[in-house]
Structure 1
Amino acid sequence: MLELYDVVELREAIPGEQLPAGAVGTVVHIFNDPSTAYEVEFADADGRTIAMVTLRAEQVVRRDG
């Protein structure tokens, strides 16, 4: 299970948000009911938010290091 502020990577593209598979974001909220989901913030190189998306656990993987 992921924790708040974990850095994650998308396993699949989210075309509606222009996010490719492999995009890197940060978990900013965790939902546990009715099932686990994560609000993930994606930012550009300048730190500006480009997307804020709620994702199912299987759509992301923790990025180590």
Structure 2
Amino acid sequence: MTVLTIALDDALANKLQQETALTNADEAVVAQKVLTDYLRRQQMERLRQEVRSYTEAAGFQSEEDIFCEIS
């Protein structure tokens, strides 16, 4: 496991402390979950951007159009 040290502004540090107090979780565990979630969202956004040209070429204007087509 790699150890990462980060600087948080006071407002973010307070939010992290509040969350850990509410959930009785370790700060490192909460930070790891948040970072994991962020990285997954970023990956999904990159994939959306990558396929956008293909879906537009196929006539789809939105994700809702695609959903309606496959449902």
Query: Which is bigger in relative contact order (C-alpha 8 A, separation at least 6)?
Result: 1
State the TM-score, normalized to the length of structure 1: 0.19
State the TM-score, normalized to the length of structure 2: 0.19
Which protein is richer in strand relative to its size?
1
Larger radius of gyration: 2
Which protein is richer in helix relative to its size?
2
